[in-house]
Amino acid sequence: MEKSELAKMNRRVKTLQKQLDTVGPVMRGSVVIIGTRNKQPYFSLNKNKKTCLIYLGKEKEDTARQYSQNYKKLLEIVEEMTILNMTLLKENACP
């Protein structure tokens, strides 16, 4: 692999590391709406093969959604960094 490509990959990894600082609070799980007549927002998390629900109410729903979206963004960054770092490690070009 060319040195310019490796340098570009290293720069991308550094950019992704900076993005990690901006992600904010994270929570694994999702906001679900439960109820047939009186629909209520809950935060749902599957932990140790059990589903845990936390009642949110309208005032906490947006915050919980943002935390969940932040978690998904974090995973996307980590996945891209993993692919880049595996290539750099294979080429002995890690910083």
In a domain, 56, yes or no: yes
Residue 91's pLDDT is: 82
Question: pLDDT tens, 28-74?
Answer: 999 999 999 999 999 999 999 999 999 999 999 999 999 999 999 99
Is 47 part of any domain? Answer: yes
Please classify residue 79 by burial: count the beta carbons closer than 10 Å to its beta carbon, then call 0-12 exposed, 13-18 middle and 19+ buried. Answer: exposed
The pTM (predicted TM-score) of the whole model is 0.85
Is 82 within the bounds of a domain? yes
Q: Please state the domain count of the chain.
A: 1
| Domain assignment present for 95 | no
* Residue 95, pLDDT score: 59
Bridge partners (DSSP) listed for residue 54: 43
**Residue 57 placed within a domain:** yes
Its domain, for residue 12, covers: 3-90
Q: What is the pLDDT of residue 4?
A: 86
